[in-house]
Structure 1
Amino acid sequence: MTGVTVPDLVPLPVLLPLLGAALTLAFRRSPRLQRGVSISVLAAVVAVAGVLVWQTDVNGPQVLWLGAWQEPLGISLVADRLSSLMLLVSGIVTLLVLVFAIGQGQAESEEEGESQTPLTIFHPTYLVLAAGVSNAFLAGDLFNLFVGFEILLFSSYVLLTLGGSAARIHAGTTYVVVSLLSSALFLVGIAAVYAATGTVNLAQLAIRIGDLSPAVALVLQLSLLTAFGIKAAIFPMSAWLPDSYPTAPAPVTAVFAGLLTKVGVYAIIRVQTLLFPESPLQGLLMWAALLTMVVGILGAVSQSGLKRILSFTLVSHIGYMVFGIALATEAGTAGAIFYVAHHITIQTALFLITGLVERLAGTTSLDRLGGLAVASPVLATLFFVSAMNLSGIPPLSGFLAKVGLLDAGIAVGTPLAWLLVVGGIVTSLLTLYALAKVWSQAFWRSPADAPRAGEPLAGVVAHRAGSVLVAAPPRTLPRTMLAATATMTAVGLMITVVAGPLYAFTQRAAADLTSRDPYVTSVLPEGVRR
């Protein structure tokens, strides 16, 4: 057979962004060429991911072994239903956030004579981030997964500190210290896994882990879950996130909120279903899910800044995903996968909207905001739709995702599962309360009613607009930024439209994960399955 086969497409979501990063670095003197290369590369990644979604659903997992080593000693890249869906959603998010960032950079250039976002650094670093995300989703062994995480760490630190302000450097330092700690724990876990089993290939581990004593397997599982739990911001390892994300530029915060914690969640799904299907830690995971939901949403309710409210809701809703994983059932896993896809799009849209709010009003503090519904009805509509979706208002995808998880919890029927069901309902109601507070204060009330409307912002020249002192001059919303945000919101709504086929897809993905056979038999030749 000649031509390009489907397995040949598997490495492209990693290779294309890396090639694009090299090209954008070479074109550092031409922002227009950088923009063209970046958009083209990420659009190609979305197209490849779409093909892989279809192929994995029809033909099963697609595997490509790299290097000249005899299987299973080489590096395997594996696209199955789960990883291909994550590739597609992450590709759409990175593409739309890039368009938003380009619009922001162009608007700042026109207004101030120069961009505050160093495009020479931004484009190659952003593409490297996209490559790291793809590599983590496709990794067929623990060490390659570690490499994906390290690519994310390197590029995310650069993006987090763009602009070089003291607040960004401080937040970036906290983020890097926490990330290095989780990476060190992950590396120790990999070494322990290899010492116990003689391999780090996930398919081989699925076979060999069962031969270990329960105590050794438990230690390995705890080491991996701790490392992934930090990256996924699961309570009590989530305190770093609300302090790290709000200081970053709007597009960086959006892509971080949408994707980076979900890579950790993906790793937990993969490890729990493939390596530890009969886990003794289900109860521990259930308690972690409950505390993540409740503590996170209580933090959101207590905040007065839009960015911090959304950061705490991000932590809280990670708990829903861990809820589905902890149930260790096919229905729970399907609900978790659907919730991940839903939450990536909605959380990204909300942070993009927050970036537009900050541009329009000069602040995201609820004490200084008001009248945004009058100032920009389009922005108000986008926020309202995304907020209702995140809160789980029917018939939106957030409601469908939560119903799927709650049904799975009720089916398990244990007291702890019922407690999680109640916790999920309470968290959803408190999410609605927190976002309704944002709506009523930032969008609905008049600016004159804001308690600190007359206080000038630090470092910002204040101008008088009528009887209210505002951070001004208020800036218009560039069409490119608004279009990217509207499209991201529409993608969230599209998940509602295609919820039936998508949920059926996630159920098939969950069936593959719980059975483990499709993954193992696709990766390993029959003669090397020990």
Structure 2
Amino acid sequence: MTDTLLALPVLLPVLAAGVLLLGPPRFLVRALSVAVLVCVLGVAVALFTVADERGPVAVAFGGWPPPLGIALVADRLSALLLTVSVLVALAVLLFAVGQGTAEDRPGTAAVLHPAYLLLVGGVALAYLTGDLFNLFVAFEVMLAASYVLITLDADEPRTRAGMTYTIVSLTSSLLLITVVALVYAATGTVTLAQLPERLAALPGGLQSALSLLMLVVFGIKAAVVPLHFWLPDSYPTAPAPITAVFAALLTKVAVYAVLRTQTMLFPRTGVWLLLAVVSIAALLLAILGAVAQDDLNRLLSFTLVSHIGFMLLGLALFDVAGLTGTILYVVHHIVVQATLFLVAGLVLRSTGTTALHRMEGRAATGAGIAVLFALPALSLAGIPPLSGFVAKLALLQAMAQAGAAGYVLAAAALVTSLLTLYAMARVWNAAFSGTRPTPSPPPQGGDAVVSRTTRRGTALMLAATAGMALTGVVIAACAGPLSRVGERAAQDLLDPREYRAAVLGEEGRP
């Protein structure tokens, strides 16, 4: 039963994408896409429950043991992130259906949903794979799907942005397969469960070089400063649902890859100075870039890059407390960042622009949308008692235990939080402080049917965004249980004996 559950998060979206390419009716396309994601969400919850209660679960397909076979593994961290990611993907898909823009234009409906499901399948494979080569395959699946999504019905600026995104992604993928080849040449395996002891037998300089190469490769995909230049030029050009799912999932998958490889393959003791410096640079430089932006989507993109630094802070500490804070922050940020980009789509729909200076003094969105913005914005800034405060508090507590280096990291985190609050206040003043436009007269005749359709679409968009905002509140309300899960997941990262035993059997036991 567990074997089947491990395969379903990857197989269901991929198989459904193939079915949708056959061209069924549009209503069936939407229904099947939503149904598949609901099923994958249920499977992810079941995997998380099993992994949390019994420890990591693994399956080697075809009966071939590692390193020959393809292994899928679900532990607490991968199952938790898979659950949150599929939940966000489902909400964003509902928003996209309600928006009815790209998918309702001729020539796009046939590929939007298949590409979206393929993206979800790639994300699931990245979380569940038990070897480096299939992690590379997962990133390639995500790249192929994301390029289709980012260039759907694209004009010249979006095509140019899509090419920038693709070239950078292909470059990082070339580097990744090179690193995988180097690891295989040095150790004779790419199976994560077998690599720790084999890498430990290598000279220290070679270990450091491989660790740095992996950090650079995944750092490009995660948009870690100074490797972030591509993201603010690529994400803002896409429609709101696409930007939201990219911001929520793609960078977090890369952060997950950093967490998995650096803790499992290259264990350290004490503060990792290099990553601490990179974290501080990400926090401060990118948030200053956000403050300087006039475009809402670019502002949120720079904020995304900045807050990747929070996720790296806990890893830089390299202890259970720090990694617990990082895990909490990743969960919080997946939900909150997606919500903010969805709200940005609602603001664009209401005001007709994403330029902050053009919003001021003109059309303001309704009170409901203002609340939907305020919740994730305040959470991102770390205002209590929201989920961002819970995650940042866990990180600050870990930093307080790290001595002088921890205090420097804490100072950078606090400054970044204040500047984030300032950036969110700028958006609030521009988008929600103007005067409302005069309501249009009610439509007549055939236009009334269009209006009813539009109202239903708008209601679905608002419901999906509200669901995401409430999910952030639920994360804060469940801070205690979630923190305990995060702590157990952090312990698994630093002590992967159960992970290795699940994959290798008795061979992997201490």
2:414 aligns with 425
Whether contact under 8 Å (1:141, 1:202) holds in the other structure is yes
Distance in 2, Cα, partners of 1:442 & 1:479: 20
Question: Corresponding residue for 1:339?
Answer: 329
Corresponding residue number in structure 2 for 1:457:
none
Displacement of 1:29? 4.4
1:67 CA drift (Å): 2.3
1:525 is displaced (CA, Å) by 2.4
For residue 490 of structure 1, what is the amino acid of its counterpart? L
Give the conservation status (yes or no) of the 8 Å contact 1:286–1:417.
Answer: no
What stretches of structure 2 of length at least 5 have no aligned partner?
A: 441-450
Q: Does 1:119 align with 2:109?
A: yes
Distance 1:372 1:236 in 2: 37
Instruction: Write the distance in 1 (CA, Å) between the matches of 2:469 and 2:383.
Output: 15
Structure 1 residues 314 and 116, CA gap change in structure 2 (3 angstroms): farther
* 1:511 to 2:491 alignment: yes
Equivalent residues of 1:17, 1:128 under 8 A apart? yes
Q: Calculate the aligned-residue CA RMSD, in Å.
A: 2.1
Which residue is 1:45 aligned to? 40
- After the TM superposition, which residues 122-161 of structure 1 pair with which residues of structure 2 at under 5 Å, given as runs? 122-161=112-151
Amino acid at match of 2:355: S
Mapping of residues 191-270 of structure 1, within 5 Å: 191-270=181-260
Cα distance change on mapping 1:317 and 1:373 into 2, 3 Å: farther
Choose which of 400, 407, 412 in structure 1 pairs with 2:397.
Answer: 407
Shift of 1:370: 3.7
Matched residue type, 2:258: I
Q: Partner of 1:19: helix, strand, or coil?
A: helix
- CA distance in 2: counterparts of 1:529 and 1:491, whole angstroms: 38
Superposed CA deviations along residues 326-346 of structure 1, whole A, max 9, x for unmatched, are 110001111101100000000
* Partner Cα separation in structure 2 for residue 340 and residue 528 of structure 1: 29
Which of 3, 15, 22 aligns to 2:18? It is: 22
AA matched with 2:5: L
Alignment of 1:336-375 (within 5 A): 336-370=326-360, 375=365
1:307 alignment partner in structure 2:
297
Give me the whole-angstrom Cα distance separating, in 1, the residues matched to 2:245 and 2:304. Answer: 12
Partner SS state of residue 129, structure 1: helix
Distance across 2 between alignment mates of 1:50 and 1:88:
6
State whether residues 136 and 263 of structure 1, in contact with CA within 8 Å, keep that contact through their aligned partners in structure 2.
Answer: yes
Q: What residue number does 1:70 align with?
A: 65
Alignment-derived partner of residue 471 in structure 1: none
Q: How far apart in 2 are the matches of 1:83 and 1:117?
A: 36
Return the offset for 1:464. Answer: 12
> SS of the residue aligned with 1:10?
helix
Aligned counterparts of 2:398 and 2:243: Cα–Cα separation in 1 = 32
Deviation, 1:529, is 7.5
Structure 2 equivalent of residue 452 of structure 1:
none
**Which secondary structure state, in structure 1, belongs to the residue aligned with residue 60 of structure 2?**
strand
CA distance in 2 between partners of 1:208 and 1:372 (Å): 63
Alpha-carbon distance in 2 for matches of 1:333, 1:131? 26
Question: Is 2:365–2:436's contact at 8 Å kept on the other side of the alignment?
Answer: no
Output aligned runs, 1:266-345, within 5 Å.
266-278=256-268, 282-345=272-335
Q: How many equivalent pairs are there?
A: 497
Q: Quote the offset at 1:71 in angstroms.
A: 3.6
Percent pairwise identity: 49
SS in 2 for 1:237: coil
1:93 aligns with 2:88: yes
Letter matched to residue 69 of structure 1 = W
* 1:32 alignment counterpart: 27
Q: Secondary structure at the match of 1:412?
A: coil
Question: Where does residue 434 of structure 1 map in the other structure?
Answer: 423
Q: Which residue of 2 aligns with 1:185?
A: 175
CA displacement 1:146-195 (0-9 Å, x = unmatched): 00000011000110011121011000000011101111111110011011
- What amino acid is the match of 1:264? A
SS of 1:202's partner is coil
TM-superposed deviation, 1:416: 2.8
Change (3 A) 1:371 1:98: farther
Name the structure 1 match of 2:460: 480
What SS class does the counterpart of residue 194 from structure 2 fall into? Answer: helix
How has the CA–CA distance of structure 1 residues 478 and 117 changed in structure 2, closer, same or farther, with 3 Å as cutoff?
farther
The SS at the match of 2:58 is strand
Q: d(CA) in 2 for partners of 1:268 and 1:280? A: 18
Structure 2 residue aligned with 1:83? 78
**Counterparts in 2 of 1:117 and 1:46: CA distance versus 1, 3 Å:** farther
2:500 is aligned to 520
TM-score by length of 2: 0.94
Q: Are the counterparts in 2 of residues 159 and 252 from structure 1 also a CA contact under 8 Å?
A: yes
The code of the aligned residue for 1:367 comes to H
Report the Cα distance in structure 1 between the residues aligned to 2:460 and 2:34, rounded to whole angstroms: 13
Deviation of 1:392 after TM superposition, in Å, equals: 0.5
The offset of 1:325, in angstroms, is: 0.8
Q: Deviations over 1:375-416 (max 9, x none)?
A: 411111100111111111001110110011111111111x33
What is the CA-CA distance between 1:70 and the residue it aligns to? Answer: 3.4
- The one-letter code of the counterpart of 2:168 is V
Unpaired segments ≥5 residues, structure 1: 449-462, 466-473
Task: Give the TM-score taking structure 1 as reference length.
Answer: 0.90
Contact 2:67 2:190 in 1 (8 A): no
Q: Does 1:170 align with 2:160?
A: yes
